[in-house]
Amino acid sequence: MGAGHDTVARELARRAREQGHDAQVVDLLRLLPCGLGAGLRLFYQSSVRHFPWAYAGLYRALLRPGPRYRPSGVPLARLAGRRLTDLAERTGADVVVPVFHLAAQLTGHLRSRGRLRSPSAVFMTDFAVHRQWLHPGNDLYLCLTDDAARDVARRITAPVETTGPVVAPGFFAPAAGAAQWRQRFERYAFGRPPVVLSAGAWGAASQLDETARLLAAAGFLPIVLCGRNERLRARLAGLPGTLVPDWVADMPGLLRAARVLVDNAAGQTAVQALASGLPVVGYRPLPGHGAEGVRRMAALGVSEIASDAASLLHALRRLSADGAYREHRIARGRELFRGDVLARVAALADASPV
């Protein structure tokens, strides 16, 4: 769902291949029969873009933690069980690494029934733990933060460790493309601090045009990322004082050249910004796990959260200015990146008698 899970999977696979392993990335939704996965993806995309209240209701009913019984994702996930076990047997997989909650439900179910011989190490991509990530049949859980790890450990008995987020190495190193982005900004900025507004790969955001106008009027240069939502890009392209680029291939360069990221999902763009040394402000978050994640990031001190336009502008003025406050936020964000996910996954594979 979205590009964040795919980005993490591809980076883990890249690291594995770099170390001489074989690695295969599999989209669980493509393993579901009869086009069901494509339908689910379209439903989720439409809900987040156009009917956020619908997804908020689904999150409360199915995903939010709590003592009351809620339906499990296992009945849906198990429809892909045969295809996954066949694939694992055919490739001789030493370990399966779910990076999507429905995949974690499937591997946990298959492991608990002895149908999947390969151990499963779940890498949780969310700051906020929701219940559909959790299944006691999985062998290991790897979390972004100690806070998330404690949440997981309270609910299941599987081993839990903190490794931090997974991002490509280009986000940590000085990006060659940053200079090109700065030159581009100069044609629009006229001294205004560039601020990235991210709507994710699907271009899902609430009142993005209003936020861009607010920032432009306050003396910032909004760089609005619309993902692959061409309709949204066309609608925003004419906003005065605003830069609306096409799909951005050089995210490390852009994030290095900007001053602040305004984020609404606490997803992969947010952790890429933290790795790049770009402060993050959560504003008008997407419903469900997006809002939970934005709140959790702010509670950890790795980002700020703005509840209204005035607090957003206040946060942007503090974080875009050079000085101790900005440097403190950058340092707190980079503290998240501390573990070697792949080493822990490889150790689990080595320890398992597959």
Give residue-wise pLDDT tens across range 240-260.
999 999 989 899 999 999 999
Average pLDDT, stretch 28-36? Answer: 84
Q: What is the pTM of this model?
A: 0.90
pLDDT at residue 10 greater than cutoff 70: yes
Tell me whether residue 207 is exposed, middle or buried, using C-beta atoms within 10 angstroms of its C-beta: 0 to 12, 13 to 18, 19 or more.
exposed
- Nearest CA-CA partner of 40 in 102, 98, 84, 85: 102
Taking residue 120's Cβ as centre, other Cβ atoms within 10 Å add up to 26
Q: pLDDT: is 55 or 28 the higher one?
A: 28
For domain 170-334, the question of CATH label 3.10.20.90 is answered with no
Look at 2-6, 211-215, 218-222, 317-321 and tell me which has the smallest mean pLDDT.
2-6
Q: Identify the pLDDT of residue 63.
A: 67
Q: Give the distance from CA 197 to its chain's centroid.
A: 15
Average pLDDT, stretch 87-113? Answer: 93
Structure tokens that stand for 158 in this block: 């599987």
- Looking at every residue in the chain, the average pLDDT score rounds to 88
pLDDT single digits (tens) 191-238: 899 999 998 877 777 888 999 999 999 999 999 999 888 888 999 988
Q: Exposure pattern of 325-354 as b/e (b: 16+ CB <10 Å)?
A: ebeebbeebbebbebebbebbbebbeeeee
Asked if residue 137 lies in contact with residue 66, where contact means CB atoms within 8 angstroms, the answer is no
Positions of CATH 3.40.50.2000 in the chain: 170-334
- Nearest CA-CA partner of 102 in 25, 186, 27: 27
